[in-house]
Chain A
Amino acid sequence: MAFGPHLLLASLEGLVTAAVLALTALGLSLVFGVMRIVNVAHGEFFMLGAVLAWAITTAITGHPALGFLAALVIAPLLVGAVALVAERVVLRRLNYNPEATIVATIGLLYIIQQLALTFYGPEARPVEPPFNYRILLPWFGYSGYKLSVVAASALLLVATWLVLTRTKIGMVMRATQYDRETAQAFGIPVERVYAGVFALGAMLAAVAAVLIVPISQAHYLMGQDPLLLSFIVVIIGGLGSLRGTVVAALIIGLSDGIISVFFSPTLAKIIATFLVAMVLVFRPQGLFGTTAR
């Protein structure tokens, strides 16, 4: 394949990675930004979304799109419910202490992972995509489903942005993010906001997982890579910044796709880690991040 089409193919693959990564990282970024909690279990919410998607699509017979659409709605809701319980039972009791919650979410990671291993098993299982359609370009054919993942992610990101910037709920979330104490002094129930943000973060990860699972398969260890890449995106983009998350996800996703194809996946990871180091040294709040009280 000539260089141009090869680059286009790599860019499309990178775009799919970036789209799913942006959703996953946005969930982590919101939790990090609003609650000041490093949620090490975020990747497990992603995994749980994928595993539940497999369970739901397997349970619903008929056209694959039916099961997939059901999974797209039900899996994030169930994962959000799990996150709500975790917030109430674990994080709230620790008074959202940043250090203690790191240890607690590591514990949560292993609990969720081992429960998945026990009840779902060690196998990687495929989920059928809702449709199989190849878009025929002059140089190669490309999966229509993959492009629909990019479109769906973009829609969800825009919807999240609208909620954050145009609604009262979003305003309350931002106020809590900027100054928890003053937010309370104006009647904002910070603990309820935290619970909602933690559930929303987990749901975004679950949606991302449902979208990607027809491409990648569901496995009980699949949460590790998204967690690492999400941290990289959040650090580069800035805490709680949607714009930063999207830009950083595009940088990491596209560079991962292109560098992996033309050089090696290892080099892509080295460059991503180098970027994180540079951001931490020269702009610790991230490209679009702000400091908060």
Chain B
Amino acid sequence: MSDILTISELDCFYGEVQVLHGLNLTLAKGEVLCLLGRNGAGKTTTLKAIMGLVPVAAGSIRLGDRELTGLPAHEIPKTGIAYVPQGRRLFAEMTVAENIEIGLMTRGKGKAVREAVLDLFPVLRERLKQRSGTLSGGEQQQLAMARALCVEPQVLLLDEPTEGLMPSMIQKIRETVAQLRGRGVSTILVEQRVDAVLSVADRVAFIENGRNRETMPVEALRADPSAVRRYVGVG
């Protein structure tokens, strides 16, 4: 598979503190790559750096042939990268329909995309006029994904999408990620739950202290889960 996203020698800082130290990653077309690591390892910062939401001090992020570092943050989603942030970050005072509309506006998508997304998450269709902050946790996560899918992304960044959800909803999220992979969407998934990763990911990258320590196919991780103990601290 050809790489759609390539991150090379990426350095990022929060003020004086360096969070990413020469991070390297590749994402192939239609692949689900999972980032695993302890809290503070740099997983979320990696996603934010791709989205241009934290400044990149050095290194390169390429989407196909296009360099993303240096682009204003609001231009990056227009290249076809969508982001589901940790904690969903819905526009809570706005309705479900308005949140979806914001997603559609990102790349000027219309009714057809809206309908396709609502078909994927039918519960949202019944709640279009409801304020998004009043939805249940599972519904909010579906809306966060729906809003991102309205971008019609080539690359989808999911930051802990199963956090705090009940098992049926986690299953729904997994199914959606698998469905998107079938459509050729590449996904970077940040997860804490190793079981959730094994069922959906193609490869796993272990992030530690802002570096990619090891990347392996999920089959290799199933055969030898010692890396999980080494980098995440659980077995």
Bound-complex Cα distance A5 to B85 (A): 60
Bound-complex Cα distance A187 to B83 (A): 11
B169 CB, nearest partner CB in chain A, Å: 21
**A163 close to B (CB within 8 Å):** no
**A264 close to B (CB within 8 Å):** no
Contacts of A178 in B (CB 8 A): 91-94
Bound-complex Cα distance A32 to B62 (A): 37
Using a CB–CB cutoff of 8 Å, the interface residues on chain A facing chain B are: 168, 171-172, 174-175, 178-179, 181-190, 290, 293
Of the candidates A175, A179, A181, A186, the one whose C-beta lies within 8 Å of that of B77 is A186
Binding site secondary structure of chain A: helix
Using a CB–CB cutoff of 8 Å, the interface residues on chain B facing chain A are: 51-53, 72-78, 83, 85, 89, 91-94, 98, 101-103, 105-107, 147, 151
Whether the Cβ atoms of B98 and A179 lie closer than 8 Å is no
Whether the Cβ atoms of B78 and A187 lie closer than 8 Å is yes
Known: A171-B98, A171-B101. A186 touches B106 (CB 8 A): yes
Whether the Cβ atoms of A189 and B74 lie closer than 8 Å is yes
Bound-complex Cα distance A56 to B106 (A): 42
Contacts of B151 in A (CB 8 A): 186
Most buried by B among A171, A187, A290: A187
Known: A186-B105, A189-B72. A290 touches B93 (CB 8 A): yes
Known: A171-B102, A190-B74. A185 touches B83 (CB 8 A): yes
B56 CB, nearest partner CB in chain A, Å: 15
Contacts of A181 in B (CB 8 A): 53, 85, 89
Contacts of B101 in A (CB 8 A): 168, 171
Whether the Cβ atoms of B94 and A171 lie closer than 8 Å is yes
Bound-complex Cα distance A175 to B107 (A): 16
Bound-complex Cα distance A78 to B107 (A): 34
Whether the Cβ atoms of A187 and B92 lie closer than 8 Å is no
Whether the Cβ atoms of B89 and A179 lie closer than 8 Å is yes
Of the candidates A171, A174, A187, the one whose C-beta lies within 8 Å of that of B106 is A187
Ordered by A's residue number, 8 sampled pairs between the chains whose C-beta atoms are within 8 Å are A172-B105, A178-B91, A181-B85, A185-B76, A185-B85, A187-B74, A187-B77, A188-B74
Contacts of A293 in B (CB 8 A): 89
Whether the Cβ atoms of B53 and A175 lie closer than 8 Å is no
Report, nearest first, the 8 A-B pairs whose CB atoms are least far apart: A187-B106, A184-B73, A182-B89, A189-B74, A185-B83, A187-B77, A178-B91, A186-B106
Bound-complex Cα distance A189 to B106 (A): 10
B156 CB, nearest partner CB in chain A, Å: 12
Whether the Cβ atoms of B74 and A182 lie closer than 8 Å is no
Whether the Cβ atoms of B91 and A174 lie closer than 8 Å is yes
A287 CB, nearest partner CB in chain B, Å: 15
Bound-complex Cα distance A171 to B52 (A): 22
Bound-complex Cα distance A78 to B200 (A): 58
Most buried by B among A174, A184, A186, A293: A186
